[in-house]
Amino acid sequence: MNPIDRVIGWIAPAAGLRRLQARAAIDIVTASRGYDGAKRGRRGNGRSPSTSANAEVGPAQVMLRNRARDLVRNNPHAARIVDVLTANLVGAGIQPVSKTGRKSVDKKVNALWSQFAATADADGQLDIYGLQALAVREMVQSGESVSRFRMRRPEDGLAVPLQIQVMEPDHIDSSKDAFANGERTLLGVAFNKIGARRGYWLFREHPGEQRQLQPLESVFVPADEVMHLFRKQRPGQVRGVTVFAPIMMMTRDHADFHEAAVTKGRIEACFAGFVKNTEGEPIQVGSDGKASPSTGLPVQTIEPGMLHRLNPGEDVVFSQPTSSPIFDSFMVHTLMAIAIGAGVTYDQLTGDLRQANYSSLRAGKIEFRRLVEQIQYHVIIPMLCMPTWRKFIETAILTGALPRRPEGYPVDWITPANEPIDPVKDMTADILAVRSGRMTVAQFFASWGNDPMTQLDEIQKYNKLLDDMSIVLDIDPRKVARAGSAQPTTPAPEAEPADQA
């Protein structure tokens, strides 16, 4: 509280309180105490008071989003973070497997999904798994992504007349903020009276498009037609925040320090040596071909391996570039902090495996995989995958491609497999886990990104083919032991004779 506020508060307490409330509101609007990455003033300003997530995210989201995109465009480590997180969260795709309990129905549903997946992109370029990667990549980079369902006509020739359009969060009209009739619109998201999402105000075109084909205006789109993907980190949070928010300033400092070191080295490399004249006569050093005042001869440039006779009283002192002893330490430790803030490991961020071993890699990957699984099952599947599945089933039923079932169409989601650090050790551990009952065979197949029933069907077909052709391979555990010896075969039990009447 400044002296003027103290005086006013002493003379007129009510007026003083209004001044303090107004000042606090200005601090929130200008985001001067929100995210460091969105600050405009000097570093080290105070932190935010007890404001809600939306009061902090709202004023800062545009600047954070734009600065994060600039980092990804121009900073190799920022681009690497986005690539690593997208590749591990989505991989080749999070695939659904129908689980109705009836094999014929599941086969039909899975086949229909495959047809839909191939034509799901409204832009006609990606399949459904490419759209997953695009939406997740935008969530990592910008903090959130928006996907909109697009219904198609029967004459479009699609197996399921449904497509998906992935958009950047810029399409949400954040200026829509009102409260009327018990319903609230906050940062472009409309809520009903009980606090459920009712819809979104979306711009028809990207606000940053240089050539607007039509006036910039937002339209209301019901919530069941929109998938809003973001990582919800605080209760009541409406919009997402980029993963670069806590490391934005540090990433820029790291890049600036590297650039300063490179510039310093370039400047020092430009000065190979200096000519000293003990007689005090001026000497021009350059390569312009003009005569030197002391010798009357053109000034010479230094070339590799060249020696030049000096006049009496002249001496040459060669440049000795300095080194920065803290350069390596600063770069490595800053990269470690950046990796921690982004949720990746140091070796993933830098590719530096010089001091890595099996134990250190495995320990780091365990924590990373826990974070990946948390985002997959708490964010991507409930916010992106399940809404897509429900809309797919609903559209297929409405168009007659699938019959309506009272019990619905349950689904399991198969996430990408985690590549083993040491295949032999990891596979041995998995086998022991299955044999001890810690993991089922179905869970083992799913952990490697495979549908258990599809995998068992393939094994059954393969074994039958080998038996029909009387072929015994070393990889057939039914007939060949792990050491390569023949497995003892157990004859099938004879059927017991029927009871005589």
Q: Residue 157's domain spans which residues?
A: 51-260+349-416
Give me the pLDDT at residue 405, please: 93
In whole numbers, what is the pLDDT of the chain averaged over residues?
82
* Both tokens assigned to 153: 């006509």
Q: 34, 1, 31: which is closest to 19 by C-alpha? A: 1
Q: What are the tens digits of pLDDT across the range 181-208? A: 778 999 999 999 999 999 999 998 888 8
Q: Is residue 432 part of a domain?
A: no
Q: What are the tens digits of pLDDT across the range 94-150? A: 999 999 989 899 999 999 999 999 999 999 999 999 999 999 999 999 999 999 999
Give me the pLDDT at residue 484, please: 63
Same domain, 134 and 80: yes
Q: Is residue 20 part of a domain?
A: yes
Q: Is residue 166 part of a domain?
A: yes
Reported pTM: 0.74
Written in H, E and C, the secondary structure of 54-114 is HHHHHHHHHHHHHHHHHHHHHCHHHHHHHHHHHHHHCCCCCEEEECCCCHHHHHHHHHHHH
Give me the pLDDT at residue 289, please: 47
Q: 352, 317, 319: which is closest to 336 by C-alpha? A: 352
Give me the pLDDT at residue 49, please: 65
Same domain, 77 and 19: no
Same domain, 113 and 199: yes
**What is the sign of the dihedral through the CA atoms of 280, 281, 287 and 288?**
positive
| Helix/strand/coil for 186 | strand
| pLDDT band with cut points at 50, 70 and 90 for residue 221 | very high
Q: Is residue 353 part of a domain?
A: yes
Same domain, 14 and 59: no
| pLDDT band with cut points at 50, 70 and 90 for residue 287 | very low
Q: Which of 203-207, 232-236, 444-448 has the lowest mean pLDDT?
A: 444-448
Q: Is residue 250 part of a domain?
A: yes
- Is the model's pLDDT at 22 over the cut of 50? yes
Most confident of the ranges 55-69, 343-357, 381-395, 465-479 = 381-395
Q: In total, how many domains does the chain have?
A: 2
Same domain, 250 and 397: yes
Final residue of a structural domain among 377, 397, 416? 416
Strand order in the sheet with 189-191: 178-180, 183-186, 189-191, 197-203, 218-222
Give me the pLDDT at residue 209, please: 81
Q: What are the tens digits of pLDDT across the range 41-50? A: 655 455 556 7
Percentage of residues in the chain having pLDDT higher than 70: 76
| pLDDT band with cut points at 50, 70 and 90 for residue 13 | confident
Give me the pLDDT at residue 180, please: 78
Same domain, 61 and 109: yes
Q: Are 321 and 269 in contact (CB under 8 A)?
A: yes
Give me the pLDDT at residue 82, please: 96
| pLDDT band with cut points at 50, 70 and 90 for residue 500 | very low
Q: What are the tens digits of pLDDT across the range 135-183? A: 999 999 999 999 999 999 988 999 999 999 999 999 999 989 888 777 8
Give me the pLDDT at residue 94, please: 94
Q: Is residue 9 classed exposed, middle or buried when 0-12, 13-18 and 19+ CB atoms within 10 A define those classes?
A: middle
